[in-house]
Structure 1
Amino acid sequence: MTIPKFRAWDIHEKKMFTNDQIIIWNNNVYANDGGKLKPDRLMGWSIDDKYLMQSTGLKDRNDIEIYESDVVSWIDNSILLFGTVEFTKGMFLVNGDEPISEAMEVIGNIYEHPDLVED
């Protein structure tokens, strides 16, 4: 059984927290900066759950784990394509319809690199 992994973007600190740096408890996401938080002693700040991203469980061609909100690139019929990983239709897809593949490469995410996505 695979345990889901998450990461979270703190919009105020402009910082990404990894799975080991967050605590998800009582429908809240808490930043565990410095490892000071414990489930029985939640002090600090919470992160809006819309900035919580789940791992797809897949890795790209460089062995980088792929998460929701990652921007990926890949080549299809000699054309370089870009897209954003989303959870839609009950699965992780790129741009809502492209299956994720090991041939893709993570080039950033929409929070740390908003310039990678168009409005």
Structure 2
Amino acid sequence: MKREIKFRVWSKSQRHMDVPTSITIDDSGHVEGVRGYGGEYPYNDIEIMQFTGLHDKNGREIYESDILRVTTGEDGESYVATVKWFDDEDYPAFDLEGIPAAWNYDANALATIFQSGVETCEVIGNIYEYGGLIGDTQ
């Protein structure tokens, strides 16, 4: 499977989302900093988010840390959840975090949503700029 590898960065100090034009990595493979259209950012000032390879119902790119509204086509019910990379839990995949208990998926919710075609996703923000959408105050 081929997909485009893209990133975006959130500057904590400037409270600004940017697109990296270059990422500096040290000899041990750790990110040292990022240069974007808005300037240079040291590693301790940024959050890096990767593109999932997916697009929402409006064609907008979906990145980790995006807040999605998931709506079923059957009855129009919806919920809001956050896109997360689950590598820290021996589950190396993008999936949704914060899915209400009433919504049950047998496997990866994000994959199921896009494969089934029954539900739609819409990016309504991200946790850094619109954390209040999910009760988060980051």
TM-score bin (small chain): 0.7 to 0.9
Q: Distance in 1 between matches of 2:46 and 2:61?
A: 20
Offset from partner CA, 1:68-112 (integer Å, 9 cap, x none): 000000213431211000011211111175225452000000001
Q: Distance in 2 between matches of 1:51 and 1:35?
A: 15
Partner SS for 2:33: strand
1:70 maps to 66
2:110 maps to 99
Offset from partner CA, 1:8-63 (integer Å, 9 cap, x none): 1100000011143x424222253424487xxxxxxx44133871111101100110
Partner SS for 1:66: strand
Letter in 1 for 2:71: I
1:87 maps to 85
Runs of 5+ unmatched residues, structure 1: 37-43
Q: Normalization by structure 2: what TM-score?
A: 0.67
Q: Aligned-residue CA RMSD in angstroms?
A: 2.6
2:52 maps to 56
The alignment-based identity, stated in percent, is 32
Partner SS for 1:104: strand
Letter in 2 for 1:82: V
1:39 maps to none
Distance change >3 Å, CA 10–CA 80, structure 1 → 2: same
